[in-house]
Amino acid sequence: MPPAFELAITVAPEDIDQLGHVNNVTYVRWVQDAAVAHWKAAAAPADQEKFLWIVLRHEIDYMEAARPGDSIMARTWVGTARGLRFERFTEFARTSDGKIVAKARTVWCPIDAQKGRPVAVSDAVRKSFSI
């Protein structure tokens, strides 16, 4: 299984909603931030120029409230890849106590960076990012 990628996040004032905790829209942004950072850290420069990724589906389960000033560790990895659908998992853990505050499952599709259309990735990309 390819290793998980981690991204440190600090909850900012603009991440907080009227209930005093991280807004659900912020988690969607964090999923994307972690996925993009993972791709940039692990993909070959030629692949980064050739492929972009779009989200087909987001599922997020919220377990604990994250609050202003919390430090969060986003941990992400790619699961099963079937055809043009790549399943990605992301967990958000509060670093002060290790509690998982949210988990996400997203489905991504590679697109040709020039044409903007879905495209198959090479076997090397598939093997380095999915199980």
The Cα 120–Cα 118 span in angstroms is 7
pTM: 0.93
CATH number at residue 114: 3.10.129.10
CB 104 within 8 A of CB 59: yes
The answer to whether residue 97 scores a pLDDT higher than 90 is yes
Longest dimension (CA), the chain: 46
Token pair belonging to 14:
């603009």
Higher confidence at residue 81 or residue 91? Answer: 91
Convert the pLDDT of each residue in 98-124 to its tens digit: 999 999 999 999 999 999 999 999 988
Q: Residue 74's closest CA among 85, 88, 86, 87?
A: 88
Judge whether 91 and 74 are in contact, CB under 8 Å. Answer: yes
77 contacts 89 by C-beta, under 8 angstroms: yes
Domain hosting residue 42, numbered range: 5-129
Q: Report the number of distinct structural domains present in the chain.
A: 1
Q: How far apart are CA 89 and CA 36, in angstroms?
A: 13
In this prediction, residue 3 has a pLDDT band, given cuts at 50, 70 and 90, of confident
In the predicted model, what is the mean pLDDT of the chain? Answer: 95
Q: Would the pLDDT of 51 be above 80?
A: yes
